[in-house]
């Protein structure tokens, strides 16, 4: 008898979820299934190891170019432009395919950054091969001016702007929340944006102009749904600006991208990136914009990094980078593991860079475009996160939008509540932080960093809000104690 005929006659019974759960509980002994195997995210979303995805759920998709690996992006944040240029050239020579210019005063600068001057940009980018390097500029108070800085610099280098792969990362909400100031009123900002957009289109620059940047909110303590909700709300406000500038939305969407943080919670980070694609697809559908890929930049979380037993940050970064890669990020930046101690030296930068290179060229994580597709647990988590993030987005919209909600302190209040709740769980022993609350080192190794002083810029603006300060989990625990 053939094997196929034998299997047909065997009539193996279908094992449903109840049967699988019974087998799991039998193996657990005295422990219950709920206590031992089920956990919840900061938003209260159930993470079930035995889950089935709803049949009518939307596909999450993959990278904008699934046939190419993600861009390996190194941060250029040294206050010394000459030293920053040497770092950039070394990074590219050693395998990096992208650079992120981080200027002083940027919400994600963490106390350092290039001087916010056009000459500093010119020095830092000297001899950089633009034809094969993805370039992004982190959101900062002079973001709109940096467009002209770059165009002027490229003109001197006789570089064809149409052949660039660039993201300017302009996000007023991230700047407002991260610095606590806007240089003009919300009304004046909205009135000025149409002219700025027209200027941008006249320059003929490709790539991303505006972003929904969730990293500021994540590093301040936001939950995954809160981070996604603010990012989507920011992107929707960008669409409104295009609409007011009388630009067709179908042409606007390709110029809007996203930046998110990824942390050591691998499956939640994967689901967060996948949920963002579903959410943005839903927004475009509501605006009658045809489906298209969206560019997502992922950066490893600053709030997960510890000062004590700092080398454990290498493990956290590796998990986070893996989550970003398998979640479908188009570009990924790994924070150096010594970022909590100061400006990172070449060794720390090399570890950050090689983490992504090994994932791509040795582990071949980029071989499958959407590795999580078909995983019931990840798909169910993605769907639930979409629902929670959409609720947060609607809440922000009911408050007038991201800028108005920040001005009223409502987003900050929700983030603070989530941050304090998370810290209390660490203190209660419900969560553990390796190197801090679990397996603390008996002695600390000496850390070597570059000679650079942290700078706190005194910003002023027409309007102010409560600043969303980047605060690490380790610091949050100490504050609660």
Least reliable range by pLDDT among 122-126, 207-211, 216-220, 439-443: 439-443
> Averaged over 188-204, what is the pLDDT?
78
> Averaged over 202-220, what is the pLDDT?
89
DSSP string, 394-429: HHHHHTTSHHHHHHTTHHHHHHHHHHHHHHHHHHTT
Least reliable range by pLDDT among 1-15, 134-148, 240-254, 258-272: 1-15
DSSP string, 36-104: HH-EE-TT--EE-SS----TTPPP----SSTTSPPEEEEEE--SSHHHHHHHHHHHHHTT--EEEE-BT
Say yes or no to pLDDT of 393 above 90.
yes
Q: How many beta carbons lie within 10 A of that of residue 364, not counting itself? A: 10
Distance CA 369, CA 46 (A): 26
User: What confidence category does residue 332 fall into, taking pLDDT thresholds of 50, 70 and 90?
Assistant: very high
Say yes or no to pLDDT of 15 above 80.
no
For residue 328, what are the β-bridge partners?
A: none
Q: Average pLDDT over the chain, rounded to whole?
A: 88
| Domain spans of the chain, in order of start | 71-395
> Averaged over 156-179, what is the pLDDT?
87
Say yes or no to pLDDT of 259 above 80.
yes
Q: Measuring CA to CA, how many Å separate 432 from each of 37, 382, 435, 439, 477?
A: 16, 24, 9, 9, 11
Q: Measuring CA to CA, how many Å separate 122 from each of 103, 128, 383?
A: 13, 10, 45
Q: Which two tokens stand for residue 70?
A: 């993600």
Q: Which two tokens stand for residue 348?
A: 């720390």
CATH tag, 71-395: 3.20.20.240
Say if strands 331-333 and 71-76 run parallel, antiparallel, or are unpaired.
parallel
Say yes or no to pLDDT of 293 above 90.
no
What pLDDT is stored for residue 54 in this prediction?
54
User: What confidence category does residue 274 fall into, taking pLDDT thresholds of 50, 70 and 90?
Assistant: very high
> Averaged over 341-365, what is the pLDDT?
94
> Averaged over 126-150, what is the pLDDT?
90
Q: Residue 197 class from Cβ within 10 Å (0-12 exposed, 13-18 middle, 19+ buried)?
A: buried
Least reliable range by pLDDT among 30-44, 58-72, 103-117, 446-460: 58-72
User: What confidence category does residue 369 fall into, taking pLDDT thresholds of 50, 70 and 90?
Assistant: confident
pLDDT tens track for 152-163: 888 888 887 777
What pLDDT is stored for residue 458 in this prediction?
64
Say yes or no to pLDDT of 478 above 80.
no
Distance CA 462, CA 179 (A): 13
Tabulate helix, strand, coil % of the chain (nearest 5): 50, 10, 40
């Amino acid at each position: 008898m053939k094997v196929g005929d034998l299997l047909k006659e065997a009539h193996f019974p279908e094992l449903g979820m109840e049967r699988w759960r019974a087998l799991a509980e039998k193996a657990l002994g005295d422990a219950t299934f709920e206590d031992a195997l089920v956990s919840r995210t900061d938003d209260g979303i159930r993470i079930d190891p035995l889950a089935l995805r709803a049949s009518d759920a939307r596909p999450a998709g993959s990278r904008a170019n699934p046939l190419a690996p993600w861009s390996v992006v190194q941060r250029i944040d040294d206050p010394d432009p000459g030293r920053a240029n040497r770092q950039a050239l070394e990074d590219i020579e050693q395998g990096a395919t992208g650079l992120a210019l981080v200027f002083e005063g940027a919400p994600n600068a963490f106390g350092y950054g290039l001087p916010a001057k056009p000459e500093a940009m010119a020095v830092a980018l000297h001899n950089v091969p633009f034809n094969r390097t993805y370039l992004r500029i982190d959101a900062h108070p002079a973001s709109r001016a940096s467009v002209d800085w770059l165009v002027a610099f490229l003109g001197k280098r006789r570089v064809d702007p149409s052949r660039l792969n660039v993201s300017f990362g302009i996000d007023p909400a991230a700047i407002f929340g991260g610095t606590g100031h806007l240089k003009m009123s919300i009304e004046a900002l909205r009135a000025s944006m149409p002219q700025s957009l027209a200027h941008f289109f006249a320059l003929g620059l490709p790539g991303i102009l505006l972003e929904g940047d969730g990293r500021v909110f994540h590093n301040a303590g936001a939950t995954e749904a809160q981070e996604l909700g603010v990012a989507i709300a920011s992107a929707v406000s960008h669409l409104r600006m295009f609409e007011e500038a009388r630009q067709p939305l179908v042409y606007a969407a390709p110029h809007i991208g996203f930046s998110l943080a990824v942390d050591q919670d691998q499956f939640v980070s994967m689901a967060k990136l996948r949920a963002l694609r579903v959410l943005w697809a839903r927004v475009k559908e509501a605006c009658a914009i045809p489906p298209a890929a969206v560019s997502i930049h992922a950066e490893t979380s600053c709030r997960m990094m510890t000062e004590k037993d700092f080398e454990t940050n290498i493990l956290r970064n590796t998990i986070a980078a893996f989550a970003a890669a398998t979640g479908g990020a188009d570009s990924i930046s790994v924070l150096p593991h010594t970022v909590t101690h100061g400006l990172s030296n070449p060794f720390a930068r090399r570890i950050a860079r090689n983490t992504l290179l090994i994932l791509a060229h040795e582990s071949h994580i980029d071989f499958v475009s959407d590795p999580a597709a078909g995983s019931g647990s990840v798909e169910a988590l993605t769907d639930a996160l979409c629902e929670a993030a959409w609720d947060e987005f609607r809440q922000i919209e009911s408050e007038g939008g991201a800028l108005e909600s920040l001005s009223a302190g409502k987003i900050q209040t929700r983030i603070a509540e989530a941050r304090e709740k998370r810290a209390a769980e660490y203190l209660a022993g419900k969560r553990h932080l390796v190197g801090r609350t679990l397996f603390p080192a008996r002695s600390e190794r000496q850390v070597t960093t570059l000679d650079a002083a942290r700078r706190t810029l005194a910003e002023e603006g027409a309007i102010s809000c409560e600043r969303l300060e980047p605060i690490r989990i380790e610091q949050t625990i100490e504050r609660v104690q």
